[in-house]
A = this chain, B = another copy of it.
Amino acid sequence: MGSQARIDKYSPLDSQDAKWIKLDKIDWTDQAGVSRVWEVASRKTRGSTGVDAVAIAPIILRPNTPAAVLILHQYRPPVGAMCIELPAGLIDPGETIEEAALRELKEEAGLVGRIVEVSPTICSDPGMTTANMQLVVVEAEMAEGEELGKQDLQDSEWIETEIVPMSKLLDRLLELSKEGNVVDSKLYHWAYGIRFAMQNAAKYKLDGPAS
Contact = CB atoms under 8 A, between A and B. Distances in A.
Interface stretch (A91-99, A105-113, A182-190): A182-190
Nearest to A26: B77
A53 B124 CA distance: 14
A205 B28 contact: no
B30 A12 contact: no
Given A31-B5, A78-B128, A119-B192, A25 B13 contact: yes
A71 interface: no
Given A12-B24, A29-B6, A126 B59 contact: no
Interface in A18-44: 18-36, 38-41, 43
B193 A192 contact: yes
| Secondary structure type dominating chain A contacts | mixed
Contacts of A18: 23, 25, 39
Given A21-B128, A76-B127, A28 B15 contact: no
B11 A25 contact: yes
A184 to B, nearest CB: 6
Contacts of A189: 135, 186-187, 189-190, 193
A201 B8 CA distance: 46
A120 B174 contact: yes
Interface size class of A (residues with CB under 8 A): 35 or more
A26 B43 contact: no
A9 B40 CA distance: 12
Given A1-B31, A67-B204, A192-B135, A38 B77 contact: yes
Contact of A9 (B7, B27, B66, B129): B27
30 contacts: A2-B31, A4-B31, A6-B29, A12-B15, A12-B24, A13-B39, A15-B23, A21-B128, A26-B77, A66-B206, A66-B210, A67-B203, A76-B126, A78-B126, A79-B126, A85-B126, A119-B192, A120-B183, A122-B185, A122-B188, A123-B184, A123-B185, A125-B129, A166-B210, A168-B210, A187-B189, A189-B190, A189-B193, A190-B192, A191-B193
